[in-house]
Amino acid sequence: MPFIETPIKGLLIFQPKVFTDNRGSFFESYNRKTFLKADIDCNFVQDNQSKSSFGTLRGLHLQTNEMAQAKLVRALSGNILDVAVDLRPKSKTFGEYFSIELSVENGSQLFIPRGFAHGFVVLSSEAIFSYKCDNYYSPENEDGIMYNDQSLNIDWKLPAADLIFSDKDTKLKSFEIFKSKL
């Protein structure tokens, strides 16, 4: 199976088999049958893509309620540090995060189940990031947690002075406030 378990149940690294020859390479970035064999039954309905420069940090975002989303994320170019925070209230790893570097070179993808906040930071001069979602974006169900929340203590691998944010991301709530509304 092309899935590698992480310390957080349900959060899986997807490592597709890459075929290379003198022409280049080929791999299946997604195959529903492969995911079903791993008991991942997602009906992906929306693909998103972003292009960002070095130091851009997007997150930590999530969709809530009936609009929660599972995601399959990967880098199409450049290097990113991808972060998922477990926000499933009954999970043994509630409030813990997992990070992984994603790049075209390592071919890794991350499957993020529903109930996680997600974010990434660009480590290369530029990166194109792609993700599949199993539910549609809903502004009314959008939520998030500050990237630098001290109780999460996420290591983003870059100095704070190098980070670039949207105005919206600088106004996200603390983890404590998020927890108090569960």
Give the catalytic positions in this structure. 61, 131
Which DSSP state fits 158? S
Query: Rounded CA gap, 82 and 21, in Å?
Result: 29
Q: Are strands 126-133 and 71-77 parallel, antiparallel or unpaired?
A: antiparallel
β-partners of residue 13 are: 4, 110
How do beta strands 57-63 and 46-53 pair? unpaired
**Distance of CA 182 to CAs 65, 115, 176, Å?**
11, 12, 10
| Cβ–Cβ under 8 Å, residues 121 and 56 | yes
Is 131 within 8 Å of 71 (Cβ atoms)? yes
